[in-house]
Amino acid sequence: MIDLTLAEIAHIVGGTLMGGDASTVVSGLTDTDSRLIAPGDIFVAKPGEETDGHLFVPAAVANGAALVIVEQEVVGEGDLPLAVPQIVVRDTVVALGALAKEVVARVRALGGLRVVGITGSNGKTTTKNLVAAMCGRAGITVSPRDSFNNEVGAPLTMLKVTQDTEFLILELGASGIGHISLLTDMVHPDIAVVLMVGLAHAGEFGGVEATVTAKSELVTALPPTGIAILNADDARVMSMRSRAPGAVVTFGFSARAQVRATDVEASLAGTSFVLHVPDSEPVGVHFQVLGEHHVMNALAAAAVGRALGFSTALIVDALESVQRAEHWRMEVMGGNGVTVINDAYNASPDSMAAALKTLVLVAGPHNRTIAVLGEMAELGEFSGEEHDRIALLIVRLNIDELVVVGAGARRLHISAINEGSWDGESKFFETQDEAYDYLSGLLAVDDIVLVKSSNAANLRFLGDRIGELYA
């Protein structure tokens, strides 16, 4: 973060400064988690659904916080004044956003910062990591930690910029109309990437068309000089073309895409393909990230690179350097003859289908394929039919065994059985421990295991346990 005085911060967030010297300079805001506060940081006491950040102000101060932003004055031990200054505001989350907006605006005024915003129902974090790897080769780059993509995480990322930052990469999530607009108003992106529109979080949005409206907010936020990067293979995404104020670049597998891939071949070692970009000769890429669906994310990243003026050589070097999408995203684990693909950070119908197809694609005739699946959450009225559809896909792909974990995914197990072509190949367990016990007695050399669920189902930890068992 750039240097700001206490007086400047109070003015920016519209709050009242209590205690401290108004001319004191602070320049750090790491997290809203008091445990992650570093000496000299600002601590924002954010109310939560289960707890309240104000309760952790003393812990933040003990960890070295130089300033706290609160919604009501906090006193120290024995009702004495707090040991550090505090700024009292009406809403700490709004204050966080206001501070981020001002910091980005000041850095942008220096003329060297370019902002890339990325959204979509799936693939945001992987694409963000690829773009960050690319931009990091060209200049000082700031990008989100993990999936920091909401009204708290995105501003925290924005606040990491300094006068020297050249590229700010943002992952922009939403669970309703207006959420992305709230974030883009803070940064005014130069490049907008829309990966796909699927059923992820459709229950929260209220349907797919509402999802299209929400995701298109990133495109409409562009200035006339901005560039929209759109998935040529997704009709819903391409419908946003007419909303782009400036240039549009497309990516995908289809021949009409400006940035595209051909000759895609997948294995447990990754995915190879030939990259085609405008004004450059086709070039082979060995992409270490597993899964054809991640090639789409690589193409989106390559399109960003071209929009930023990067050479094809730099783009390919960056793509080939990334060894995994992210922890728990198509992460290859295991050993001693057993391969575990832990992809249980999140799951939508689209990403579930893609992961299952990858499982089959990378398996040889001597491999047994086992899918360990949990619930796909946040699908609302689509939940039942989408779990049915995945069950049908599993049977049609001829996956050798299905292990379903958790009550929320029971319909997947029942639907697979009802397909009638299986006889005992689907097993259901209420708990992860039960599933682990079963799998530890089942798995053998040459087995390939996919573990996939929504984040809420927590199967990523089961994937870790299985992977560590055979490491």
Cβ 73 vs Cβ 54: under 8 Å: no
The SS3 assignment for 121 reads: coil
The residue behind tokens 């709230």 is: 182
Q: What are the CA-CA distances from residue 258 to residues 229, 272, 302, 376 (Å)?
A: 10, 19, 11, 33
Helices in 14-91 by DSSP H: which ranges?
Answer: 57-62
126 is in an annotated binding site: yes
Helices (H) and strands (E) in the chain, counts: 16, 21
128 is in an annotated binding site: no
Buried b (16+ CB within 10 A) or exposed e, 90-126: eebbebbbbbbbbbbeebbeeeebbbbbbbbbbbbbb
16 is in an annotated binding site: no
**Token pair for residue 86?**
């505090």
Q: How many CB atoms lie within 10 A of CB 458?
A: 15
30 is in an annotated binding site: no
Radius of gyration from C-alpha coordinates of the chain: 24
123 is in an annotated binding site: yes
CA angle 425, 426, 429 (to 5 degrees): 140
The residue behind tokens 């990325």 is: 118
122 is in an annotated binding site: yes
The SS3 assignment for 299 reads: helix
124 is in an annotated binding site: yes
Q: What letter would DSSP give residue 381?
A: G
β strands within 21-166, DSSP E:
25-26, 42-44, 67-70, 86-88, 114-119, 141-142
Annotated binding site for ATP: 120-126
Annotated binding site: 120-126
